[in-house]
Amino acid sequence: MLAIIGGSGLTTLSNLDVSHREVVRTPFGEPSGALVFGQICGHAAVFLPRHGYGHTIAPHAVNYRANIWALQQAGVSGIISVASVGSIRPDLDPGDLIVPDQILDYTWGRKATFFDGPGTPVRHVDFTMPYDAALSQRIVAAAKNLDIPVHVGGVYAATQGPRLETAAEINRYQRDGADVVGMTGMPEAVLAREMEIPYAAINLVANHAAGRGSSSAGIHFESLEQVLHEAMGRVRSIIEETVGCNDACSVAEGTV
């Protein structure tokens, strides 16, 4: 059973045939909302909105530990994270989709491990490749089956939020090697790794990052909603195809 964590623009999953909702209590507090169980094209899936069903939880305030713990307790076999991002790389435009393969973490003060607290042994996990390659390949193969273009590979810069970045900060992230910028990729990805849950992402480019392209003089919020609405339809289609795509799905490198 795959889990889908929805971000900005994906607070519900309309193609999920809902069977029941479950409120989960965790040792780390309340998750962002009830887990919504159901089926997508006959395959079991569960959905959780990262920012709550009313989009009321800011990126820095998301209880990432409770969310991942709840999904682990539900017995999920993998997590697909959906998140909107700003584009740093020149060839990424609003509406584009990207499946990243690396992360730069600029967040601070977030609860970033389950192995914390008095008497709890420290545990170090390997994070060389932060996204699960097999699950990422399934996503890309699903997009290819649907003739939906996606960019394969890229570096996601996770920032603290909730404010957007300055142009100078984006310049720094570009020098560091980032391709897109968002606010929720960490510590979500590493917590999934600690729980040994395969984790992959679909990033939707909502806008050019600060100081880039159409955002050279500022972010135009009025254009974001239309971009998100149109592109989320493609994201839902990819999720639907991925849920039904087995591990044998193959993928070519590059943009498909």
> What is the pLDDT at residue 237?
93
- CATH topology for 2-243? Rossmann fold (3.40.50)
> What is the pLDDT at residue 11?
58
> What is the pLDDT at residue 170?
97
Distance CA 188, CA 191 (A): 5
Q: Per-10-residue mean pLDDT for the chain, 256 residues long? A: 84 79 95 94 92 91 98 97 95 96 98 90 94 97 96 98 95 98 98 98 95 81 78 92 65 45
Nearest Cα to Cα of residue 158 among 242, 62, 225, 227: 62
Distance CA 50, CA 81 (A): 9
Q: What's the Cα-to-Cα distance from 118 to each of 19, 74, 115, 122, rounded to whole Å?
A: 40, 27, 10, 10
> What is the pLDDT at residue 208?
94
| Locus of tokens 């971000």 | 7
The number of angstroms, rounded, from the C-alpha of 38 to the middle of its chain's C-alpha atoms is: 20
CA 228, 77, 60, 181 torsion: positive or negative? negative
> What is the pLDDT at residue 251?
43
Q: Report the phi/psi class of residue 204: left, alpha or beta, with left for phi > 0 and alpha for psi in -120 to 50.
A: beta
Amino acid letter, 253: E
Nearest Cα to Cα of residue 179 among 201, 149, 214, 209: 209
> What is the pLDDT at residue 228?
84
Distance CA 118, CA 45 (A): 36
Nearest Cα to Cα of residue 81 among 38, 31, 136: 136
Domain boundaries defined on the chain: 2-243
Contact in structure between 130 and 79 (CB atoms under 8 Å): no
